[in-house]
Chain A
């Protein structure tokens, strides 16, 4: 179980980015009010500060998520911690 966890955790971290990016499309399709819809509206009305904010938020959450993934390696397999 623990050994199988490493690749899964890696993929989870990478998928998170896809998820956030996918929300942009999904929110448009189903007309949900969310951060994706906000980004699209801001782009179409050339509201640059809002676009910057959305991108900063999602990109940093993506980076933090992948940092957590990297840290979780140490808990899953203590041997990784030393290297």
Chain B
């Protein structure tokens, strides 16, 4: 028999206690490595995206320049010097030349950039806040609230983009802050739809049901448990929306409905420069190029953000 084989160790009969509560307390629990959150992972993916990072650095750099330069040195983009009007780029003391009043183009570009970027950001913030709330209520409450709110959003969608902003500017009157509100309102439907869709998809997740089962109030569920799910898609749309908003604000300022003449704003500068196109091309080219490059950069950044947040959509590597 196997057990009587010489040299074999007889099995120890003293058993380990099954519940070793006293010893078990001293033994460290095996640590489960905490996985980084989805946004940390998205950020890491974004860091590997070379185009995306380059665009992020570029946009941040532009923002820093237009914010910090007026803060550090006192600039006066309105100082006129009629003896030095329409100087070409590279002139003494005027890197990008001067306009028809002899105002320095570099300073006006910086001042105008601050207006364009900050107004774009404010417009997107308005759109995200209102659109997000509408979408959240419509998606989460459902029923009559959903039907009424989404019909209103559909009505807004019936007006093509810039035209809606034109209507609102007509009602409110022209001026850059009113224009910003108009562009912000124009952006609401996109956010409302995206948020509603995501909320509808999240609402029936098991953890939401669990939260409801333990008696978490509805408002808390909506804001604490559902809203974070919405953040990803909204961030993507907001980045694209930022590009659209900058472009729309520049376009409407160009039409003379936004910032009013003495002010420096890229769209307005482009509009002013039109009259001098034949004798001073740089006045039109510089703001035009600035608008195009910034909008392109923000759009590419939006692409990168979308790929980082939803890697399934990305076509290339990763």
Tell me if B159 and A24 are in contact (CB < 8 A).
Answer: no
Name the B residues within 8 Å of A58 (CB-CB). 160, 163
Tell me if B163 and A55 are in contact (CB < 8 A).
Answer: yes
Interface string of A11-47 (1 = CB under 8 A from B): 0000011101110110011000000000110011010
Tell me if A25 and B254 are in contact (CB < 8 A).
Answer: yes
Q: Which of B158, B160, B256, B257 has the most CB of A within 10 A?
A: B160
Interface string of B162-189 (1 = CB under 8 A from A): 1100110110001000000000000000
A9 at the interface (CB under 8 A from B): no
A80 at the interface (CB under 8 A from B): no
Given A44-B256, A62-B158, A63-B158, A24–B169 Cβ distance below 8 Å?
A: no
Contact of A59 among B159, B169, B170, B251 (CB under 8 A): B159
Tell me if A20 and B257 are in contact (CB < 8 A).
Answer: no
Q: How near does chain B come to A11, taking the closest CB pair, in angstroms? A: 14
Name the B residues within 8 Å of A75 (CB-CB). none
Tell me if B163 and A43 are in contact (CB < 8 A).
Answer: no
Segment 219-266 of B: residues with Cβ below 8 Å from A: 251, 254-257
Tell me if B170 and A43 are in contact (CB < 8 A).
Answer: yes
- For chain B, the bracket of interface size reads 10 to 19
A76 at the interface (CB under 8 A from B): no
Determine the main DSSP class of A at the interface with B.
Answer: helix
Segment 283-315 of B: residues with Cβ below 8 Å from A: none
- For chain A, the bracket of interface size reads 20 to 34
Determine the main DSSP class of B at the interface with A.
Answer: helix
Segment 130-185 of B: residues with Cβ below 8 Å from A: 158-163, 166-167, 169-170, 174
Name the B residues within 8 Å of A24 (CB-CB). 162-163, 166, 255
Tell me if B251 and A55 are in contact (CB < 8 A).
Answer: no
Tell me if B159 and A48 are in contact (CB < 8 A).
Answer: no
Bound Cα distance from A6 to B249, whole angstroms? 33
B274 at the interface (CB under 8 A from A): yes
The closest CB in chain B to the CB of A55 belongs to B167
Tell me if B255 and A21 are in contact (CB < 8 A).
Answer: no
The closest CB in chain B to the CB of A62 belongs to B160
Name the A residues within 8 Å of B169 (CB-CB). 43
Tell me if B170 and A48 are in contact (CB < 8 A).
Answer: yes
Contact of B163 among A20, A28, A46, A63 (CB under 8 A): A20
A69 at the interface (CB under 8 A from B): no
Name the B residues within 8 Å of A22 (CB-CB). 162
Q: How near does chain A come to B115, taking the closest CB pair, in angstroms? A: 19
Name the A residues within 8 Å of B160 (CB-CB). 16-18, 20-21, 58-59, 62
Bound Cα distance from A22 to B166, whole angstroms? 12
Known contacts A21-B162, A28-B254; 10 additional CB pairs below 8 A are A17-B163, A25-B251, A29-B274, A40-B256, A44-B257, A46-B170, A51-B166, A55-B163, A59-B163, A63-B158
- Which residues of chain A have a CB within 8 Å of any CB of chain B? 16-18, 20-22, 24-25, 28-29, 39-40, 43-44, 46, 48, 51, 55, 58-59, 62-63
